[in-house]
């Protein structure tokens, strides 16, 4: 039995099939987890989402929610409009769109496997893994509840930018989701910078990559994330960044947790400037 974690797919379903073939994924014994952003901007969002859902329904996979997954949920509920370059209409026009989006809405924000912690973007330096898991459960409760549409209606926005334990209501929910789904740069005081999407060398004054801050309280665990395509595949002692930019002409990456082995297949997409 082997356990794998796969980076951001973003609708690159052909590469996902090729990667599962490369690792010889055996659904009778293996398990696979995804760091989120299953959909958007790639050519086959519906197929990728349907494939991961089928694996999860078979009990051999799960994924955390990424920012593009949240965007799909919001677009389906008509709380957000699609932008140029989005390909979520591939999902929205499917006859099983409701089933796909409902399944996605019930995914976790964090998955713990032993000392490995899977999230989409990162963890604020103020959070221990236990803190992050408790906060994730708050959001998951709202997303899975009967009033989820009212919760979603107020979710998007950049404020508050600084996390405080005493945040409540919409401000608390928004800060938690932004950290899990959008984090790249922040301060030691858990203030998020939302605009810079280039690699770590472009850190704005006063900010650092979330994983590089001294005293980060989740550093006792191995955090596995995606989201930061411009940073690419990066393997550090306590962090693995797995978004190797498949959407932008890079590669789709899997890491085997049992021994840390890396597997990649090249992108079939045209090479372009990496973005969010």
| Domain boundaries of the chain, sorted by first residue | 3-266
Could you give the CA distance from residue 71 to residue 10 in angstroms, rounded to a whole number? 12
DSSP assignment string, 205-231: TT-EEGGG-TT-TTTTSEEEE---TTT
Q: pLDDT (tens digit, 9 = 90+) per residue, 8-46? A: 999 999 999 999 999 999 999 999 999 999 999 999 999
| DSSP symbol at 144 | H
Query: Does the pLDDT value for residue 273 go beyond 70?
Result: no
User: What was the pLDDT predicted at 80?
Assistant: 95
**127: helix, strand or coil:** coil
Say what the pLDDT of residue 99 is: 98
pLDDT band at residue 270 using 50, 70 and 90 as cut-offs? confident
Backbone phi, then psi, for 61, in 5-degree steps?
A: -155, 160
pLDDT digits (tens, 9 = 90+) for 106-161: 999 999 999 999 999 999 999 999 999 999 999 999 999 999 999 999 999 999 99
Q: What is the pTM of this model?
A: 0.96
pLDDT tens track for 211-242: 999 999 999 999 999 999 999 999 999 999 99
Residue 274 has pLDDT above 80, yes or no: no
The pLDDT tens digits of the residues spanning 55-101 come to 999 999 999 999 999 999 999 999 999 999 999 999 999 999 999 99
Is CATH 3.30.70.100 what the domain over 3-266 is classified as, yes or no?
no
């Amino acid at each position: 039995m082997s356990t794998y974690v796969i980076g951001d797919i973003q609708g690159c379903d052909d590469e996902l099939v090729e990667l599962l073939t490369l690792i010889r994924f055996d659904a009778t014994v293996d398990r696979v987890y995804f760091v989120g952003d299953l959909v958007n901007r790639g050519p086959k969002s519906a197929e990728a989402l349907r494939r991961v859902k089928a694996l999860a329904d078979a009990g051999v996979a799960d994924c955390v929610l990424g920012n593009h997954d949240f965007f799909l949920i919001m677009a389906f509920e008509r709380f957000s409009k699609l932008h140029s370059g989005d390909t979520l209409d591939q999902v929205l026009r499917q006859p099983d769109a409701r089933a796909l989006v409902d399944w996605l809405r019930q995914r976790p924000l964090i998955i713990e496997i032993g000392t490995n912690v899977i999230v989409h973007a990162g963890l604020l330096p103020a959070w221990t893994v236990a803190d992050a898991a408790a906060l994730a459960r708050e959001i998951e409760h709202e997303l899975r509840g009967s009033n989820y549409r009212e919760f979603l209606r107020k979710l998007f926005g950049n404020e508050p930018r600084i996390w405080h334990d005493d945040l409540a209501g919409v401000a608390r929910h928004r800060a938690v989701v932004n950290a899990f789904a959008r984090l790249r740069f922040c301060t030691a005081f858990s203030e998020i910078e939302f605009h810079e999407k280039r690699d770590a060398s472009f850190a704005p004054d006063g900010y650092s990559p979330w994983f590089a801050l001294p005293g980060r309280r989740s550093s006792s665990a191995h955090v596995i994330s995606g989201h930061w395509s411009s940073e690419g595949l990066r393997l550090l002692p306590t962090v693995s960044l797995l978004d190797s930019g498949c959407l932008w002409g890079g590669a789709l990456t899997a890491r085997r947790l049992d021994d840390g082995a890396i597997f990649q297949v090249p992108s079939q997409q045209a090479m372009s400037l990496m973005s969010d």
